[in-house]
Structure 1
Amino acid sequence: MEALAREKSIVRRLATFISRTIGTATSQDPTVILDHVLLGSRENAEDSRLLYFLGITHICNCAKQVGNSFEGEFIYLKLNLHDSQDEELIPHFQTVTKFLNRVERLRGRVLIHCISGASRSPALLVAYLMIDKKIPLLDAYNMVRRKRQVVQPNQAFRLQLAKYELMLFGASSVATTTDKDWNFYAWNEVKNERGLRKR
């Protein structure tokens, strides 16, 4: 109960701050994906003025090598992830989804970030869009990539997303796409094994 009261207090405090703040956002700003979810970088996460200006109440830090800069000022979810072909993201999908859902319920705003907002954090955000918003992988991926052009999760993360979509929906939206991001050896092997390729 005490933690919830603290969280609500932070949301109220930031809402008050925003209503009094005058200024403009910079070209380095995080990308608004949904009203309550912004995708950004380490640089964004270390800029308290920007965070307050944008109404950030929660931060999902997906990078092992980046610390939480403002403990006590924002509510954090810290994931110690590397941008590596060996990193397992799937075990974190539900944790991130619950965190982002909580932010939405509290009418807060979350920054999800890694180092540059290109691989780890967008992959986890795409998983959230699939799980919570029921958006097929290809649509979720393209939505995030259109809004933030640097988005390029590594192949291992894309493979995990593709496998997770099969598990979640029983079908694949990226099996027959001509998008080059979904044409790589490991995923092509899975498609061949499961008979997902075009006939």
Structure 2
Amino acid sequence: MGCKGSKSKKNAYARVAQYQKESWAAERAVCRPPESLEWGVAPPNCITPASLHNLLTDGFYAPYSANPRYLLVVDCRAPRAFTRRRLATARWHGALHTAPAPNLVHTIVLYDDKPRTAVPKPEDTDPLANLYHDLRRQKLDPLVLVGGWQVLEVTCPHLLEGGDNPPTPEPMPWYPAQVIPGLLYLGHAEMASDPRVLSALCVTHVVDVTECLPPRVLPSMNYLVVPLPEEETEGTKPSEKVNNDNNGTDLISSLPTILEFVAEARTYGGCVLVHCDQGLTRAAAVVMGILMAERRCTLEDAFYYVKGARSAVHPSQSQLQQLAKYETVLFGASLTLVEDLF
């Protein structure tokens, strides 16, 4: 028994030593530690204007803003302010009897004209605080907009109506997801062909990840076509993936050109829209690559950040494997297991 115990201990020590050896080797291989991708994170039970934008414009076949049962946005300002100008989908807090019952709605967002940085305190008695605490007593989880109306008005003017943007019989356009505020959006092909979307977001540069150039709907628009394949053909050699008419081009070899295009937009105060057919696979992978290069973050961070902005994204395994290899270019080692991302 003693011999067996000693042998077991030796095996355990050997496994620990091997693990330590592999860990040290991995640490030595990392030439540059990744940065954390955590800008614009809201406090508990709050939401940023960028996240509200993406919540309104997320969806599979139509934006969630078109579904009153999915999202209830409540304007808690004075009635005159609400009448003058408001979020296009918002309900005034004094007329909630005309809205769907809060307990039947997926997400509730509250805003007013106070530059809030946290949820209201229990002793607060303004309209937003009263509604917030009432909903909490109903076991609901409303979100409070950080920064209030002032920040919303500056960052999301295209989502507002009233004033210079009176209500129209047409539904609000389906906007792309905001990835880097003021610089980078992710969407589908129809968005790149809609002049209302491009003008409202001040898009100046379009990265087209399909095989077809979209119509030039605005004369000053700049286009970069990167025909990435939807899915690589099984058995295709790496040398055959680049500049191959059948398989398109390679994601990683295209990134330097894409990054130069993004840098050009930034230099001239422009904005970039990256799109493929549906904005879920190829374009999403390109945006993840841009984030990895721009923010020096891991594929894992970029994947979940983009998925948080547009929940339906699902890059292919081959695209994610390419981005995992790109980590070795950025950090000297691959830090993300693609199998762990789903």
Bin for the TM-score computed over the shorter chain: 0.7 to 0.9
TM-score between the two structures when normalised by the length of structure 2: 0.44
1:42-68 Cα distance to aligned partner (Å, 9 max, x none): 010110112101111111111114534
Letter in 1 for 2:165: I
The residue correspondences of 1:10-159 to structure 2 (distance < 5 A) are: 22=165, 26=172, 28-35=174-181, 36-70=183-217, 72-86=219-233, 87=247, 88-159=250-321
Gaps of 5+ in 1: 1-17, 181-199
Q: Measure how far apart 1:83 and its partner are.
A: 0.9
Gaps of 5+ in 2: 1-157, 159-163, 234-246
The whole-number CA distance in structure 1 between the counterparts of 2:275 and 2:175 is: 12
Greater mean alpha carbon deviation, residues 50-59 or residues 67-76: 67-76
Q: Measure how far apart 1:166 and its partner are.
A: 2.0
Letter in 2 for 1:22: N
Q: Measure how far apart 1:103 and its partner are.
A: 1.0
Aligned-residue RMSD, C-alpha = 2.4
Letter in 1 for 2:278: S
Q: Measure how far apart 1:158 and its partner are.
A: 0.6
Compared CA separation, residues 114 and 171, structure 1 to 2 (3 A): same
Greater mean alpha carbon deviation, residues 60-69 or residues 27-36: 60-69
Letter in 1 for 2:206: I
Greater C-alpha radius of gyration: 2
Q: Measure how far apart 1:143 and its partner are.
A: 0.5
The structure whose RCO (Cα within 8 Å, separation 6+) is larger is 1
- 1:50 aligned counterpart, secondary structure: helix
Q: Measure how far apart 1:28 and its partner are.
A: 2.0
Compared CA separation, residues 27 and 119, structure 1 to 2 (3 A): same
Compared CA separation, residues 175 and 47, structure 1 to 2 (3 A): same
Compared CA separation, residues 176 and 61, structure 1 to 2 (3 A): closer
The whole-number CA distance in structure 1 between the counterparts of 2:205 and 2:223 is: 6
